[in-house]
Chain A
Amino acid sequence: MKYILLIYNDNLDEPVPGTEAHGKYFQAYGAFTENLAKSGKMAGGDALEPVSTATSVRVRNGKTVTTDGPFAETKEQLGGFYIVDAENLDEAIEWAAKIPTAEFGTIEVRPLMVFDNM
């Protein structure tokens, strides 16, 4: 079953770039990604540029409305994702718990929709 692991955190809780803590954090992500890839369970994943670069698009009554910022102003914002092919939810949870951001943020685990043909 494919799951998306959505990585949410408050930017203020992240290690500051340039510090030693950030270096370790960055390395931890590298190790996690490598691990996941090696296991053959990785079906995708990327980091996102910070929420300050986000643009929201809505089309209402045929008109496209574009605004600066994410779809909702929340304390924790989406920072990246992984897609894993796991046996079951427990395995997906296991991977999610190993994501470095899990220690101060939240990883939302959601199954990808399976479309039944016929």
Chain B
Amino acid sequence: MADRTPTPAHRAVETVIREEWGRVLATLVGLVRDFTLAEDALQDAVLIAVDTWDRRGIPENPRAWLVQTARHKAIDRLRRGVTFEAKRNELKVLAELDAATYVEPTYDEDIQDERLRLIFTCCHPALSDEARVALTLRTLGGLTTGEITRAFLVPEPTMAQRLVRAQRKIKKAGIPYRVPPPALWPERLDSVLAVLYLIFNEGHTATSGENVTRPDLCREALRLTENLVLLATEEPEIRGLLALMLFHEARRATRTDASGALVALEDQDRGSWRQALISRGDEVIQKALKQSAPHPGRYQIQAAISGLHATAPTFAATDWEEILMLYGRLHKLQPSPIVRLNAIAAASFRYGPEAALNSLGELAIETDLANYQPYHATLADLLRRAGRLSEAREAYRTAISVTDNLAERQFLERRLATLTEAA
């Protein structure tokens, strides 16, 4: 495969495979109940797909084609004992596979259900945090190990090992492949929401290197979260997360300009924001807040803040007081530097950059922010707005040196350039 110069047809094949990967894998895991076998069988099928689709064209229903072919490959593997385990329950699976007259599910709900089962399994508390995220991204998001590696800035062999260990633990420890019963939800749901949000963010912002977002990941995260809402309508935090994602998604197009550089919120063209998503987000968060009053969870608070931005007709008309109040509540639930930094940035629009610089100074004394990129970016911005230009230039240079996100770096470089010209 490496020697072939990619033709447009070849690229089209790869795109389709990439898009269908997650859903097909989920279905396969449901059939064989073994992550490794499912992945191996899918790889087998993909090799054939790449070969034959190139020559004969992409089939009408590529997903069904992949599932059918992978299912046959799984049967082959089990028969050949490639997994080197002839355990009773695997023979059982083999018998079921053989007997099953597999019909492509016609309702999207079946596929969504599979993915929900998959995500609860991937997010099982018996797995480590990193394992949960990596596994979910790999199986549901269809990210390659390389892409996950870039997201977490961990060496690729480490990430590959992490995935293998996680899959092995699921198998060896007998982690069940299912949506857990309601009694277990409080614990299990938190983990799932964190993972979903991480996937959404991976799709929404490039973490390093490329400045291309991956909208398919955002769509997957949104779809899974929508489903979770339906499955658990009494859980306001799921709605909170959904609303938060919707508000981000509504504004995605204006987040970067044509050259891929970030655009500040105050410069974004609000006319290009997707109002349908904002309305839905607003509807969702209002419902959540009613349910959880008077104690909204952290996703709901973040969504409320995001909603205030999304529904403000102009930057100047933003309700900064309310936003500040919300940040205060968020900080109580989630005391972290990034929350404080965002609060300080919001305060700067209400009380001016000098006041905000004082708060920032206090924060820098309490916490070691020397290597924290958002701190430097915030500092630079406040200094610029306060007219302290030479300090601002230095701060921008520091911020640029610790930013590994291309879009962000371009943004900061542009800001620095305007200051240098003005001088």
Contacts and interface: CB of A to CB of B under 8 A. Distances in A.
Interface stretch (A8-16, A19-27, A53-61, A82-90): A82-90
Contacts of B172: 111
B174 A89 contact: yes
A116 interface: yes
Interface in A54-73: none
A118 interface: yes
Contacts of B85: 116
Nearest to A114: B87
A3 B315 CA distance: 59
Interface string B84-123: 1111000000000000000000000000000000000000
Interface string B152-182: 0000000000000000000011111000100
B184 interface: yes
A86 B173 CA distance: 11
A1 to B, nearest CB: 5
B176 A87 contact: yes
B126 interface: yes
A92 interface: yes
Contacts of A89: 124, 126, 173-176
Nearest to A117: B86
Contact of A116 (B87, B175, B180, B184): B87
Interface string B350-375: 00000000000000000000000000
A86 B235 CA distance: 30
Interface residues of A, number: 15
Contacts of A3: 174
Contacts of A87: 176
A118 B91 CA distance: 14
Given A89-B126, A90-B184, A116 B176 contact: no
Contacts of B124: 89
Contacts of B174: 1, 3, 86, 88-89, 92, 111
A90 B176 contact: yes
A114 B124 CA distance: 23
Contacts of B176: 87-90
A105 B126 CA distance: 18
Contacts of A88: 174-176
Contacts of A111: 172-174
Given A1-B174, A90-B184, A116 B126 contact: no
B61 to A, nearest CB: 34
A50 B124 CA distance: 34
B283 to A, nearest CB: 35
A67 B124 CA distance: 41
A67 to B, nearest CB: 33
Interface in B231-261: none
Contacts of B86: 116, 118
Interface in B66-89: 84-87
Contacts of A1: 174
Interface string A82-118: 0000111110110000000000000001110010101
A14 B175 CA distance: 31
Most buried by B among A90, A93, A114: A90
Contacts of A118: 86
A113 B175 CA distance: 15
B175 to A, nearest CB: 5
Interface string A25-69: 000000000000000000000000000000000000000000000
Nearest to B89: A1
B399 to A, nearest CB: 45
Nearest to B126: A89
A31 B86 CA distance: 39
A111 B174 CA distance: 8
Contacts of A110: 173
Nearest to A3: B174
A113 B126 CA distance: 18
Contacts of A116: 84-87
A92 B184 CA distance: 14
A93 B85 CA distance: 26
Interface in B178-237: 180, 184
A95 to B, nearest CB: 13
Given A89-B176, A111-B172, A116-B87, 4 more contacts: A88-B175, A89-B124, A90-B176, A109-B173
Interface of B: 84-87, 124, 126, 172-176, 180, 184
25 contacts: A3-B174, A87-B176, A88-B174, A88-B175, A88-B176, A89-B124, A89-B126, A89-B173, A89-B174, A89-B175, A89-B176, A90-B175, A90-B176, A90-B180, A92-B174, A93-B126, A109-B173, A110-B173, A111-B172, A111-B174, A114-B87, A116-B84, A116-B85, A116-B86, A118-B86
The 7 lowest CB-CB distance pairs between A and B, nearest first, are A88-B176, A1-B174, A89-B174, A88-B174, A89-B175, A89-B173, A116-B85
